[in-house]
Amino acid sequence: MSEPIKNRYEFVILFDVENGNPNGDPDAGNMPRVDPETGLGIVTDVCLKRKIRNYVETVKEDEAGYRIYVKDGVPLNRSDNESFLQVGIENAAGMKPEELKKKIKAKKDEGIGVDLAIRDFMCLNFFDIRTFGAVMTTMVKGALNCGQVRGPVQLGFARSIEPVVPQEVTITRVAITTEADAEKKDTEMGRKYIVPYGLYRCEGYISANLARKVTGFSEKDLELLWQAILNMFENDHSAARGKMAVRELIVFRHDSELGCAPAWKLFETVRVARKDPEDPAPARAYHDYIVSVDEAAVPAGVTCIRMG
């Protein structure tokens, strides 16, 4: 395993959407997520992590050490079983909890470090576990501490800079679903929901301490993470999501493992404001905003890096 990172990081991602649905809410008919109190648009951390995983999967194509654990069409138990084979336990996911616990106890009695062997195997082979951590149900079923791996990289919810007004667009299609419908009508109606324009801000954290103690997240992994964030929408375009793009990634690099300043103090140095505050028209493009970093307020021991 490569050498873990030695520096703490915080970062701010600025991305926008034009005529698309950045993150539908299944509890609201898949309408774009909105904070009901402020009207600000919301994109969940889970949604953004999915984009990062998809990019890494596309670029690495299951290369050794860069597989994806939370993956479409692949049961988690299948990957869990691979890790148990490292300690000589077959079909762990198919066992009842008590049976699995007995097997694990027998291996521990033989002097095998089951927890560390399984955790290290999963972190070594799966990029998203090494990065974001994971809750692995088979390990939890066996009462292993390694079932919950806390990853060094954490994302918050993204929120739009200004309130968004989701629009419901009625659409038609000439293709008819059934033969019976074809005898009655020429077209069918449908709906899609869009945000005309929204600029979103997401804040994230990277713990060098957790990287060293738990997952082994390395400098090479960090470089891939930055690449994935900057390009997470580029290979994931769809009609539903409209035009989405990461506009800027602002990174704060600490000179130490535990950091030199509180995260909130660094985040407050990043300001996003309308270029013309007096303009009553809603923003419809990224150039309607000015993004600035008050580098004079960045404490000693922290370096600001702007990408994008």
Q: What is the pLDDT of residue 1?
A: 56
Residue pLDDT tens, the chain, 308 long: 589 999 999 999 999 999 999 999 999 989 999 999 999 999 999 999 999 999 999 999 999 999 999 998 889 999 999 999 999 999 999 999 999 999 999 999 999 999 999 999 999 999 999 999 999 989 999 998 888 999 999 999 999 999 999 999 988 877 777 777 776 777 778 789 999 999 999 999 999 999 999 999 999 999 999 999 999 999 989 988 999 999 999 999 999 999 999 999 999 999 999 999 999 999 999 999 999 999 999 999 999 999 98
Q: What is the 3-state secondary structure (H, E, C) of 234-272?
A: CCCCCCCCCEEEEEEEEEEEECCCCCCCCHHHHHCCEEE
Parallel/antiparallel/unpaired status of strands 24-25 and 9-20: unpaired
Q: Rounded distance, CA 126 to CA 130, Å?
A: 6
Phi, psi of 83 (to 5 degrees): -70, -35
The secondary element (H helix, E strand) that includes residue 121 is helix 114-125
The pTM for the full model equals 0.93
- Comparing CA positions, the residue from 207, 202, 203 lying closest to residue 254 is 207
Within 10 angstroms of residue 5's Cβ, the number of other Cβ atoms is 23
Q: What is the pLDDT of residue 227?
A: 98
Q: Rounded distance, CA 142 to CA 147, Å?
A: 8
Q: Is 107 exposed, middle or buried (0-12, 13-18, 19+ CB in 10 A)?
A: middle
Q: What is the pLDDT of residue 308?
A: 87
Q: What is the pLDDT of residue 7?
A: 98
The secondary element (H helix, E strand) that includes residue 139 is helix 137-141
Question: What letters, b where the CB count within 10 A reaches 16 and e where it falls short, cover 68-93?
Answer: bbbbeeeebbebbbbbbeebebeebb
Longest dimension (CA), the chain: 74
Q: What is the pLDDT of residue 184?
A: 75
Residue 245 · residue 233 · CB < 8 Å: yes
Q: Per-domain residue ranges for the chain?
A: 1-44+157-308, 62-148
